[in-house]
C-alpha cells in the first residue's frame, strides 16, 4: 500500500483482532497510583475515527478509563489559547530524554521544564490555567466537553484523591519550581487541579473523537467547532511527536511514526494529520510507563498500512 492509497480500515481491524492475541503482553499495571491497580490488566480497546467520520472499533473500546497524561495535551491546548508567548519562557519544547516524573534536569535548568508533557511542564501549564480561569476545574472540563460536544466526560474523584495521597514526586517537582519563581499560585491549589486533570476518564471512542481536531487543522470536523488555530495545531502535534512518550519518544517515532501521547492508565492517542485519530487502551505498561501492547498494536497498524507520517 502506498502512503496515499485507500486504506481498508474494516479489513485492518479484522487483522488487528488477530494480531492482538499474538502479542505476549509483558507489561505491568501502574502501581504508584493505588486506584489504577484496581483496573483489569487484560482490558484492550481500540477506536479509529477518520476526518470524514468513519469509525472502527475493537474490544473494550466503549469502557471508560483514566486518561492520565493524555489530558496534558488538552491542558496545553487551552493554555496556548489563553496565554501569550510568555508561555514559552516558562516551559520549553525540547525532548527531555528523562522519565516523566524526573527531578534531575529541573534543578540544572533552574526550574524551567523541558516541555509541557513531562510532569513538571504540565504543572506549569496547570499553574497558568489556575491563574487564567475563573473556576479552573469547572471551566477546564467544560472546555474538554466542548471540543467533542460530549457532556459525558468527567473527572474521577476517586483516582484524583488516590494520586493526591501518593503524589510526592509531583509535590517535589512543584516545590522545586516554586523555589525558582516558576509557579505563581498556591502549591496545593495547582496540585489539586493537576490531579483532577489527570483523572479525566474517556472511552477509546470518546478519546479518538476528542483529539480529531489535531488531525484537521484545529477544527473538529464532526461539529465544525474551531478549537485552536492551524499554527497552534502544528505546534501541538510537533510537541507530541518529540515529547509525547518522554524518554521513549524516539522509539515511538521510530516504530509507530505518528504524533502521540500516552498515559499511565494505559491509554495512547495518536494522530495522522489529514487522516485520522486513533485511541488504544491496554493497562499493562512497559518500563518507561507507556502501554506495552498499545505501542505494539500501533506499530502493527502504521507498518501494515504504511501510514506513518514519515
Can you count the helices (H) and strands (E) in the chain?
A: 13, 9
3-state DSSP call for residue 212? helix
- To the nearest whole angstrom, how small is the minimum distance from the Cβ of residue 240 to ligand DON? 12
Q: Give the Cα separation of 218 and 232 in Å (integer).
A: 8
Could you give the string, one character per residue 79-118, with x where binding to ligand DON holds by CB under 6 A and - elsewhere?
Answer: ---------------------xx-----------------
Q: Give the three cell numbers for residue 53.
A: 467520520
Q: Give the Cα separation of 127 and 291 in Å (integer).
A: 28
Residues 158 to 177 in contact with ligand DON, rule: CB under 6 A: 163, 170
49 or 101, CB closer to ligand DON?
Answer: 101
Among 27, 257, 289, 294, interactor with ligand DON by CB under 6 A: 289
51 or 268, CB closer to ligand DON?
Answer: 268
- To the nearest whole angstrom, how small is the minimum distance from the Cβ of residue 203 to ligand DON? 17
Reduced 3-state DSSP string for 251-304: HHHHHCCCCEEECCCCEEEEEECCCEEEEEECCCECCCCCEHHHHHHHHHHHHH
Looking at 83-186, list the stretches that DSSP marks H as alpha helix, in order from N- to C-terminal side: 87-90, 104-108, 119-132, 136-147, 157-166, 168-179
156 or 219, CB closer to ligand DON?
Answer: 156
Q: Does 119 bind ligand DON (CB under 6 A)?
A: yes
Q: What angle do CA 156, 291, 39 make, to 5 degrees?
A: 40
Among 68, 286, 307, 308, interactor with ligand DON by CB under 6 A: 68
Residues 216 to 275 in contact with ligand DON, rule: CB under 6 A: 262-264
Residues at the site binding ligand DON, with contacts judged by CB under 6 A: 68-69, 100-101, 119, 163, 170, 198, 262-264, 289-290
Amino acid at each position: 500500500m502506498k502512503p496515499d492509497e485507500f486504506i481498508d480500515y474494516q479489513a485492518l481491524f479484522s487483522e488487528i483482532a488477530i494480531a492482538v492475541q499474538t502479542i505476549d503482553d509483558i507489561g505491568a499495571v501502574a502501581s504508584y497510583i493505588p486506584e489504577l491497580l484496581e483496573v483489569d490488566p487484560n482490558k484492550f480497546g481500540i477506536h479509529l475515527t477518520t476526518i470524514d467520520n468513519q469509525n472502527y472499533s475493537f474490544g473494550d473500546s466503549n469502557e471508560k478509563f483514566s486518561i492520565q497524561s493524555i489530558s496534558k495535551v488538552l491542558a496545553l491546548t487551552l493554555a496556548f489559547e489563553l496565554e501569550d508567548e510568555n508561555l514559552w519562557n516558562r516551559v520549553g519544547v525540547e525532548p527531555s530524554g528523562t522519565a516523566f516524573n524526573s527531578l534531575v534536569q529541573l534543578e540544572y535548568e533552574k526550574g524551567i521544564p523541558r516541555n509541557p508533557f513531562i510532569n513538571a511542564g504540565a504543572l506549569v501549564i496547570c499553574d497558568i490555567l489556575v491563574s487564567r480561569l475563573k473556576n479552573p476545574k469547572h471551566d477546564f472540563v467544560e472546555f474538554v466537553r466542548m471540543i467533542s460536544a460530549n457532556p459525558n466526560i468527567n473527572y474521577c474523584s476517586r483516582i484524583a484523591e488516590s494520586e493526591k495521597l501518593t503524589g510526592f514526586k509531583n509535590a517535589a517537582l512543584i516545590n522545586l519550581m516554586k523555589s525558582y519563581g516558576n509557579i505563581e499560585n498556591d502549591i496545593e491549589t495547582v496540585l489539586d487541579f493537576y490531579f483532577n486533570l489527570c483523572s479525566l476518564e474517556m472511552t477509546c471512542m470518546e478519546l479518538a473523537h476528542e483529539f480529531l481536531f489535531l488531525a484537521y487543522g484545529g477544527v473538529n470536523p464532526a461539529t465544525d467547532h474551531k478549537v485552536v488555530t492551524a499554527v497552534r495545531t502544528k505546534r501541538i502535534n510537533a510537541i507530541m511527536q518529540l515529547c509525547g512518550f518522554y524518554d521513549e519518544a524516539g522509539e515511538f517515532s521510530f516504530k509507530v511514526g505518528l504524533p502521540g501521547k500516552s498515559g499511565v492508565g494505559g491509554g495512547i492517542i495518536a494522530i495522522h494529520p489529514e487522516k485520522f485519530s486513533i485511541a488504544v487502551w491496554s493497562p499493562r505498561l512497559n518500563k518507561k510507563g507507556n502501554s506495552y501492547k498499545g505501542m505494539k498494536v500501533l506499530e502493527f497498524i502504521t507498518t501494515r498500512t504504511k501510514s506513518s507520517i514519515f
